[in-house]
Amino acid sequence: MLSYLLRKIALLVPTFIGISICAFAFIRLLPGDPILAMAGQYGVTPERYAELREQFGYNLPIWQQYLTYLGQVLTGDFGVSLGTKRPVATEFATLFPATVELTLAAVLIAVVVGIPAGIFAAVKRGSWFDQATMSVALTGYSMPIFWWGLLLIIFFSGYLGWTPVSGRIGIQHFFRPVTGFMLIDSLLVGRPGAFWSAVSHLILPAVVLATIPLAVIARQTRSAMLEVLGEDYVRTARAKGLSPRRVVGLHAFRNALIPVVTTIGLQMGSLMAGAILTETIFSWPGIGKWMIDSIGKRDYVVVQSGLLLIALVVMVVNLVVDVLYAVINPRIRVAS
């Protein structure tokens, strides 16, 4: 198991370097000049412009800029924001809990609803429930996030008035954060009103973000279950007189779990991408909105390092999923 884990970690090194090159090159392709953006509407003299370019290293050749940046990243220095003058790593750590909270809520909704829906659709193959479930899943997968989010805001926030339009918690609730996770912090400080306010703010963005992963998980679960239900050992279990619940839950679903776990792990990357749109629509103060705002302000240091930090999070999640594969099915680590 240890050698399997070390091999997986070693594969992350070239992946990390490749992502850093892509992030670095992508930022250089964006229009605009970070020095002029930093100078603002008052502009800057040619002498000051040259001084700032030298200060931030923009006068160096591209390859030298990249090597300097890579060396800083490897030492844990992701740069300083041109706008706020705060370390990028500090801003990321401050905002990351909000994105994690939203992502975990979306994963919870997708898993709790998607897996049972896929199992029942497979067991009731060809029935009206199966057809309705797959039709809804296809619709959810095809629906643009920004359009779906606006529809829910108009109906549930505007028409019914059940949920807040935007934000993370009501403005009347103020307390010093402990962990950065609003649901946990509100309980730690003994503010049940703040907790329910945070829940009400979380519902709509979590549902919007969970829509596509839920559809994918439901379809993948159905497909994996249909394949397993046709195996000989499932027919043998039924022939022994085992209850349908035991056959489906113990024998079938356990063996169909690996592709489902794979799908859930892969969806984490799409959730991080979807969080950018979702957080922008709902003004959720997380990493996605931070990145969008930084692009608008031409804060290239934040965008560049933010992309790299998000990629690192996705890489770590994929590593955890690979380890779960090996735990669920030991044959995987032997074959690897």
Report percent pLDDT > 90 for the chain.
5
Q: 241 with 328, same domain?
A: no
What value does the mean pLDDT take over residues 290-297? 82
Q: 126 with 205, same domain?
A: yes
- Output phi, psi for 160, to 5 deg: -85, -30
Whether the per-residue pLDDT at 308 is higher than 80: the answer is yes
Q: Are 22 and 333 in contact (CB under 8 A)?
A: no
Q: Are 186 and 173 in contact (CB under 8 A)?
A: yes
Sequence-ordered list of residues with C-beta below 8 angstroms from that of 176, at least 6 positions apart, any chain: 189
Q: Are 300 and 27 in contact (CB under 8 A)?
A: yes
Q: 144 with 12, same domain?
A: no
Q: 166 with 250, same domain?
A: yes
Q: 128 with 76, same domain?
A: no
Residue type, 21: I
What value does the mean pLDDT take over residues 295-312? 82
CB atoms within 10 A of CB 131: 13
Q: 72 with 92, same domain?
A: no
Residue 148 lies inside a defined structural domain of this protein:
yes
Residue 207 pLDDT grade (very low, low, confident, very high; cuts 50, 70, 90): very high
The domain boundary, picked from 256, 280, 314, lies at 256
For CA atoms 19, 24, 29, 34, the dihedral sign is positive
Residue 263 lies inside a defined structural domain of this protein:
no
Residue 291 lies inside a defined structural domain of this protein:
no
Residue 79 lies inside a defined structural domain of this protein:
yes
Nearest residue to 282 (alpha-carbon basis) of 194, 207, 171, 184: 207
Calculate the alpha carbon distances from 169 to 48, 161, 207, 288 in Å.
43, 16, 17, 18
Tally: H helices and E strands in the chain: 16, 0
User: How big is the chain by its Cα radius of gyration, in Å?
Assistant: 24
| 212-225: pLDDT as tens digits | 889 989 988 888 88
Residue 80 β-bridge partners: 87
Q: 159 with 180, same domain?
A: yes
Residue 286 lies inside a defined structural domain of this protein:
no
Q: 106 with 151, same domain?
A: yes
Whether the per-residue pLDDT at 42 is higher than 60: the answer is no
Instruction: State the pLDDT at residue 112.
Output: 92
Instruction: State the pLDDT at residue 38.
Output: 64
Residue 87 β-bridge partners: 80
| Pairwise CA distance, residues 168 & 218, whole Å | 29
Q: Are 205 and 282 in contact (CB under 8 A)?
A: yes
What value does the mean pLDDT take over residues 29-55? 69
Range of the domain at 198: 88-256
| Pairwise CA distance, residues 21 & 56, whole Å | 19
Whether the per-residue pLDDT at 211 is higher than 70: the answer is yes
The domain boundary, picked from 206, 232, 256, lies at 256
Q: Are 205 and 278 in contact (CB under 8 A)?
A: yes
Q: 44 with 78, same domain?
A: yes
Q: 132 with 77, same domain?
A: no
Q: 1 with 143, same domain?
A: no
Q: Are 305 and 88 in contact (CB under 8 A)?
A: yes
Residue 284 lies inside a defined structural domain of this protein:
no
What value does the mean pLDDT take over residues 168-193? 84
Total number of domains constituting the chain: 2
Instruction: State the pLDDT at residue 280.
Output: 86
Residue type, 213: P
| Pairwise CA distance, residues 36 & 20, whole Å | 25
Task: Look up residue 180 and give its DSSP letter.
Answer: S
pTM value > 0.75? yes
The domain boundary, picked from 191, 226, 256, lies at 256
| Pairwise CA distance, residues 146 & 125, whole Å | 33
Residue 22 lies inside a defined structural domain of this protein:
yes
Q: 145 with 76, same domain?
A: no
Residue 275 lies inside a defined structural domain of this protein:
no
